[in-house]
Amino acid sequence: MTSDVLSNHGVREVAGEYVFEKPLSRQDLLQLTSHLFRVEKGDRIESPHDLIPFLQSELGSLEREVFAVIFLDIKLRFIAFEVVFKGTIDRCEVHPREIAKLALTSYNASHIVVAHNHVSGCVLPSDADIQITQRIKDALALLQIRVLDHVIISKDAAFSFSEQQLLQP
């Protein structure tokens, strides 16, 4: 976060921690946290886990299920985030072909992280979640695009396929 955004709100960063010099309004806090969770083009993604706060801010409070993709380049730098499919309160139809098309023609991505939200709040993957992840992974592997993770998001929790070793080679 830039130092002017911090200082404008009476916040100092000291050794990686934020010190608040005055009480913050709800609006100030929302503005600050939106900067904390922002990912910008060219940012290097060290681990898919680093994207969870960003994904929660983008998807966690939605009222219907959506399926999104984060596109990364060969050096794992952020290219773009896009909600690719929109569904209902409990499901979203996903087509690997459309993800492949976007990855190749729109973003020239070599890596992706897929994510979707569970409106129910339970982030455990369903059998359908596991199956579509494997289908996406298999389809994109043919195009030399690697799926780094599939993250399921709710307002208060996240589930990472890679952390749970559910992305089989």
In a shared domain, residues 14 and 83 = no
In a shared domain, residues 133 and 55 = yes
In a shared domain, residues 140 and 109 = yes
Of 145, 142, 143, 137, the closest CA to residue 169 belongs to 137
Interatomic CA distance for residues 30 and 8, integer angstroms: 14
> In the numeric block, which tokens belong to residue 59?
């998807």
Write down the pLDDT at residue 25.
75
Interatomic CA distance for residues 167 and 133, integer angstroms: 8
Interatomic CA distance for residues 145 and 44, integer angstroms: 17
Write down the pLDDT at residue 145.
98
The CATH number that applies at residue 84 is 3.40.140.10
- Tell me the sheet residues that pair with 67: 85, 116
> In the numeric block, which tokens belong to residue 49?
């886990």
Interatomic CA distance for residues 89 and 44, integer angstroms: 33
Interatomic CA distance for residues 99 and 68, integer angstroms: 9
Strands 146-153 and 11-14: unpaired
Write down the pLDDT at residue 99.
98
Write down the pLDDT at residue 24.
75
> In the numeric block, which tokens belong to residue 117?
């939200």
Domain, as residue range, for 26? 3-36
CA angle 153, 154, 160 (to 5 degrees): 30
Write down the pLDDT at residue 16.
67
CA angle 155, 50, 97 (to 5 degrees): 80
Residue 168 belongs to a domain = no
Q: Per residue in 103-127, pLDDT tens?
A: 999 999 999 999 999 999 999 999 9
In a shared domain, residues 20 and 52 = no
In a shared domain, residues 106 and 28 = no
What pTM value is reported for the model? 0.80
Total domains in the chain come to 2
In a shared domain, residues 26 and 52 = no
pLDDT < 50 regions, the chain = 1
Write down the pLDDT at residue 32.
67
